[in-house]
Amino acid sequence: MALFGRRAAESTPLDGVDVVLADLDGVVYAGAGALPHAVESLRRAAEGRTLGYITNNASRTDASVAAHLSELGLPTAAHEIVTSPQAAMRLLADRVAPGSTIMVVGGEGLVVEVEKAGFVVTRSADDAPAAVVQGFAPEVGWAQLAEAAYALALPEDEGGIPWIATNTDWTIPQARGIAPGNGTLVSAVHTAIGRLATVAGKPEVPIFEEAVARFAAQHPLFLGDRLDTDILGANRAGIPSALVLTGIDRPKHVLAAPAGSQPTFILGDLRELHEPYPDVRLEGDQATVGGASVRIEGPDVRIIAEGRPIDLLRAGAAAIWATGRAIYGFRVPEQLYADPFHRP
């Protein structure tokens, strides 16, 4: 990963990148409002590069998301938004006959994509749907979840119908704080019926493959705020990634990231896309990033030099990740997982 590679002194995360793929919730905005520095940083990133967006949020259409971004100061067209409902339609097309009746648990964003794909939408298990597709929407409640449970009562290997979830994010950033995401709603149905859904969005690969193909990306960089969906998915798809600390995951999560969920870059906010990214120097059990150094001494993680808060986190992550050991095997000083970074 680039985090551990030798890099030119003045290299930034954007050097050599032809397409920037950004998550939305927790990266560009939280609720209706833009996050600090996000709009101006992305506008600058788009100079000489393609800028596209990948979102697991299934509650809105690609056109409405594009309109929202445009209102925030990021002129965007609908085709520049890759959504988990679009990825779900790819999976659905392989599992049911064209024109089938599909039960939708979710909002307008999912309904529109199901209809665009040529399927008939129903909200009732009584209409004998050929599959259930479930995505997040604020209005989803017990009645919709119950209909899904009725439709999915028979396991698929016993003749039951397919169940596709757009995504399983446990949480979603909002202006007032962190709220339950689609994963909690999918889990409610799972608890009722004992079945697992097939997932279309991050961290699964199809949504990334759709984005790479749509934008003809040769050297993309993905920006996300979650290790378990954004970064894990990018790694599975072979795409370099930057975790930005403006959304869900915090420094303590970064330090504990397992191998598959470790980002290429760690950013305090999107301004750092345009700043030189310091080389990570590993010498034995010690990692140095900029003016920060962290050393592993048996079960203890020692701060040798503090440096900037973001560099201290980068050094701590590099030192811990290089051991291949789980975070619970260490005594970590509180300063290392302090959290001075912005979050909603």
Query: What pLDDT is attached to residue 9?
Result: 54
Whether residue 174 is found in the same domain as residue 191: yes
Beta strand ranges found along the chain (DSSP E) = 19-22, 29-30, 33-34, 50-55, 81-83, 101-105, 120-122, 131-134, 163-165, 171-174, 177-180, 198-199, 220-224, 241-244, 265-267, 280-283, 286-289, 292-297, 300-305
| The token pair that represents 207 in the structure block | 């949504």
**Mean pLDDT for the stretch of residues 91-115:** 95
- Residue 1 is predicted with a pLDDT of 41
The mean predicted confidence, pLDDT, of the chain is 94
Tell me the average pLDDT across 10-38.
Answer: 94
Q: How many angstroms from the chain centroid is the CA of residue 333?
A: 28
Q: Is residue 63 part of a domain?
A: no
Residue 61 lies in a domain: no
- Residue 10 confidence class, pLDDT cut points 50, 70, 90: low
Q: Quick one: 127 and 215 in the same domain?
A: no
What pLDDT does 2 receive?
44
Alpha helix positions (H), 152-285: 182-193, 206-215, 232-236, 251-255
- For the cut 70, the answer to whether the pLDDT of residue 14 exceeds it is yes
pLDDT reported for residue 101: 98
Q: What is the CATH number of the domain that holds 31?
A: 3.40.50.1000
Report, as an integer, the average pLDDT of 35-56: 97
Query: pTM value?
Result: 0.87
Q: Which of 15, 18, 23, 127 is catalytic?
A: 23
Per-residue pLDDT at 7 exceeds 90: no
Question: Which of 165, 180, 199 is the last residue before a domain boundary?
Answer: 199
Q: Which two tokens stand for residue 308?
A: 């900037």
Q: State yes or no: pLDDT of 125 exceeds 70.
A: yes
Residue range 48-101, pLDDT digits in tens: 999 999 998 888 899 999 999 999 999 999 999 999 999 999 899 999 999 999
The question of whether 279 is a catalytic residue gets the answer no
User: 197: burial class by Cβ within 10 Å (0-12, 13-18, 19+)?
Assistant: buried
pLDDT for the residue 344 = 56
Domain end among 277, 312, 330: 277
Instruction: Output the CA–CA distances (angstroms, integers) from residue 149 to 89, 197, 201, in the order listed.
Output: 21, 12, 21
Mean pLDDT, to the nearest integer, of 28-39? Answer: 94
On whether both 115 and 155 belong to a single domain, the answer is yes
Q: Is residue 83 part of a domain?
A: no
Residues 194 and 207 in one domain: no
What mean pLDDT is predicted for residues 31-45? 96
The confidence band for 206, taking pLDDT boundaries of 50, 70 and 90, is confident
Domains: count for the chain: 3
Q: In the chain, pLDDT over 70 holds for what percent of residues?
A: 96
Please say which residue of 229, 262, 277 terminates a domain: 277
Catalytic residue from among 25, 228, 230, 249? 25
- pLDDT > 90: what percent of the chain? 89
For the question of residue 23 being annotated catalytic, the response is: yes
List the domain range (segments joined by +) for residue 226: 13-56+202-277
pLDDT at residue 5 above 60?
no
Q: How confident is the model at residue 106 (pLDDT cuts 50, 70, 90)?
A: very high
